Structure 1
Amino acid sequence: MPEGPEIRRAADAIGDVLVGEVVDTVRFGLPRLRKYARQLRGQKVVDVETRGKAMLTHFDHGYSIYSHNQLYGVWQVVEGKKLPNTTRSMRLLLQTADHSAILYSASDISVWPTEELSEHPFLQKLGPDIMDRRLTWRAVAARLEDARFAGKSLSVLYLDQVFLAGNGNYLRSEILFDAGLDPKRTAADLTRGERGRLARSTLDISRRSYDTGGITLAPQLSNSLQRQGLTREWRRFYVFGRADYPCYRCGSEIRREEVGSRRLYTCPGCQPRDAG
């Protein structure tokens, strides 16, 4: 499933071609939504916003399209009106005079009066968006002390969209590794220094992933591995997807485990179980 950085990058690509433009073609692939096409056609897009893994396309007449990529959804932006040749199911098409933005395969799509979005059952539960540049590490650290979250293990907390929206499976493994913390510890177990370190890692790793198109490694390390001939797949992550391979920092063998039916990767050398 795409995580916060990927959704924000998609929103930016869509915003580059839609914001400020009149949408002259609106097509919904889901029959229940087709009644809204006429209502949106001919309106100007004023913003493309993300809230965690959800995207909101706002129109100037006070309506918005909510979409969530779910597991298999993907956005594509193309120049002109000729659509790509694909076997994917088109769920939403927005076209201006010059570009097309197409959402494939997702089904969690709805149209809302913009002023009523606060009542959306998913959006109203979300915590702060990790891709919001106004979010500070101190605000993240404060949430780690919040009674709603302090008793949860970090492995559970870092998939909780109420805690922070936009976190997902690869970010969880990478953030906890960067902070040097055992995922079995709870937020309440952390020292003040550890909370600060985790909060900084949360923003550093997620924003680095956005800036690099999905690479969480420090640029110097990633570039060094590239010069050694490693493909992007093997110079992308510190631990995620690298079970049984040596840690880039300490050489320990990366471990994989299942937590809540989701895979989690850790380094026993950098994230010792007896810490705290």
Structure 2
Amino acid sequence: MPEGPEIRRAADKIEKQLRGKTLDDVWFAFPELAKQASSLIGIQVNAVDTWGKAMLIRFADQRVLYSHNQLYGVWKLHSEDKPPSTKRSLRVRLTAEGRAASLYSASDVSLWHENALDSHPFLARLGPDLLSQQVTSGDVQKRLHDPQFRRRSLGALLLDQRLVAGLGNYLRTEILFFSKLHPKMRPVDLTSVQLSLLADSIIDITHRAYRQAGVTNLDAWIEQAIAAKEPRRQWRFSAFERAGLSCHRCGSIIERMMVGSRRLYLCPCCQLLSP
């Protein structure tokens, strides 16, 4: 499933194509939305942003198109007269000035009034979005101290969208690696220095992945990995996907483990489980 940085980058592309433009044509596959399609024609697209792994296309009449890609959804941009060649099922198409944004394969799509978004069953449960909202390290530290989070293992907690929205499997591994923390540790176990580093890493690694199209590794380590002929799926990360390879920091062998039924990678030397 795409994580927050990937959805934010997709939103940026759609915003660049549609923002400020008036819709000439709108098509929805879902019957409950199809009857509203014509009411969006002639309406301007004001903005496209994200909340975690959900995308929000905001219209000038204060309606908002919510979509969640889940496992298989994907947005494609194209000329109005040249739709993509794909076997995927078209769910949404928004067209303006000869260009279109089409959503394929996603099933979680709905239209909301902006004032009602707080009652959305998914959005209402989310923590703050690190890429579309102003979130500081202090904000994240306060959330880590919250009673509902402070005694949970970091390996599970970092996938809980109520903490902060948009984190996923590769970000979890990378955040813990750069924080030098074992996934079984809990916020309550951490020193103030460790807690600060974790909060900084949650923000910094997410923004790095967004800026660098999913690359979270450091430049010097990338050079080493490329020189060692590692494929991109490995050199783009500091630890994720690197089981059996040397830790960039200490030279120990990166290990793979399962946490919450999902794979996680760590350095057994750099990320010791403190007593």
**Number of equivalent positions:** 275
Once the two structures are TM-superposed, the CA of residue 160 in structure 1 deviates from its matched residue by 0.7
Q: How does 1:236-255 map to 2 (within 5 A)?
A: 236-255=236-255
Q: Is the 8 A contact 1:89 1:104 kept in 2?
A: yes
Partner of 1:58: 58
Partner of 1:95: 95
Output the amino acid matched with 2:60.
Answer: D
Report the more deviating stretch, 78-87 or 147-156: 78-87
The alignment partner of 2:176 has SS state of helix
Matched, 1:25 2:6: no
Q: How does 1:89-168 map to 2 (within 5 A)?
A: 89-132=89-132, 134-168=134-168
Q: Distance in 1 between matches of 2:252 and 2:42?
A: 58
Unaligned segments of structure 2, at least 5 residues: none
Partner of 2:2: 2
Output the amino acid matched with 1:174.
Answer: E
Moved over 6 A (4+): none
Output the amino acid matched with 2:176.
Answer: L
Q: How does 1:259-270 map to 2 (within 5 A)?
A: 259-270=259-270
The alignment partner of 2:204 has SS state of helix
Report the more deviating stretch, 142-151 or 209-218: 142-151
Q: Is the 8 A contact 1:155 1:172 kept in 2?
A: yes
Once the two structures are TM-superposed, the CA of residue 229 in structure 1 deviates from its matched residue by 4.5
Once the two structures are TM-superposed, the CA of residue 216 in structure 1 deviates from its matched residue by 0.4
Output the amino acid matched with 1:186.
Answer: R
Q: Is the 8 A contact 1:130 1:167 kept in 2?
A: no
Once the two structures are TM-superposed, the CA of residue 98 in structure 1 deviates from its matched residue by 3.0
Q: Distance in 2 between matches of 1:115 and 1:90?
A: 28
Once the two structures are TM-superposed, the CA of residue 225 in structure 1 deviates from its matched residue by 3.4
Once the two structures are TM-superposed, the CA of residue 261 in structure 1 deviates from its matched residue by 1.3
Q: Is the 8 A contact 2:25 2:95 kept in 1?
A: yes
Identity among equivalent positions (%) equals: 47
Partner of 1:86: 86
Q: Distance in 1 between matches of 2:245 and 2:220?
A: 20
Q: Distance in 2 between matches of 1:133 and 1:127?
A: 11
Report the more deviating stretch, 250-259 or 165-174: 250-259
Output the amino acid matched with 2:188.
Answer: A
Over 3 Å counting, the alpha-carbon distance change for 1:238 and 1:190 in structure 2 is: same
Q: Distance in 2 between matches of 1:154 and 1:225?
A: 28
Once the two structures are TM-superposed, the CA of residue 170 in structure 1 deviates from its matched residue by 0.7
The alignment partner of 2:66 has SS state of strand
Q: How does 1:203-214 map to 2 (within 5 A)?
A: 203-214=203-214
1:40-80 CA distance string (max 9 Å, x none):
12211001111111111111112111000101111111244
1:137-176 CA distance string (max 9 Å, x none):
1111121111121011101110011110001111001100
The alignment partner of 1:177 has SS state of helix
Once the two structures are TM-superposed, the CA of residue 238 in structure 1 deviates from its matched residue by 1.3
CA RMSD, 1 decimal: 1.5
Matched, 1:174 2:177: no
Output the amino acid matched with 1:212.
Answer: Q
The alignment partner of 1:117 has SS state of helix
Q: Is the 8 A contact 1:30 1:91 kept in 2?
A: yes
Partner of 1:70: 70
Output the amino acid matched with 2:143.
Answer: R
Over 3 Å counting, the alpha-carbon distance change for 1:219 and 1:132 in structure 2 is: farther
